Amino acid sequence: MKRHMTTKGFALTPADAAQLDRRVARLEKRLRTFNPDLVHLQVVIEKHPRREEYTGSVRLALLEQVLTASRNTAASVRTLLSEVFADIEAQLDRLKAALRGETARGRVRKLVAR
């Protein structure tokens, strides 16, 4: 997996960097079936200049699909990372289920008695 990390207005602490590495490793486990050269992860975290608030976005590109995180504001970097990566993992699970065809198997037609 190719990664690109950008921070604006602050520097990651070692604890936050370790949290990011744990979340990326957890995501890599879910992406074992995909070719690592075709998976791109982009993480952008920005500190609001006047408030103690962090804004972030995560984009995961694979199989001509781009998964983006929708929850992107938190009071600390750790909570931002956990919320954003939880959202990406949920989207990835839905994408993998759709690729396996599990969404189509849930519908069953009733037989009509004649």
pLDDT digits (tens, 9 = 90+) for 86-107: 999 999 998 888 888 766 555 5
Evaluate whether residue 114 is within a structural domain.
Answer: no
The whole-number pLDDT of residue 104 equals 58
The whole-number pLDDT of residue 41 equals 93
Evaluate whether residue 6 is within a structural domain.
Answer: yes
Evaluate whether residue 42 is within a structural domain.
Answer: yes
Residue numbers of the domain that contains 17: 2-105
Segment 48-53 mean pLDDT: 89
Evaluate whether residue 36 is within a structural domain.
Answer: yes
Predicted confidence band at 21 (pLDDT cuts at 50, 70, 90)?
very high
- What's the mean per-residue pLDDT of the chain? 87
Question: For residues 65 and 86, is the Cβ–Cβ distance under 8 A?
Answer: no
Task: Tell me how many domains the chain contains.
Answer: 1
Evaluate whether residue 112 is within a structural domain.
Answer: no
Q: What is the CATH number of the domain that holds 68?
A: 3.30.160.100
Q: Please return the burial class of 70, using the count of CB atoms within 10 Å of its CB with bins 0-12, 13-18 and 19+.
A: exposed
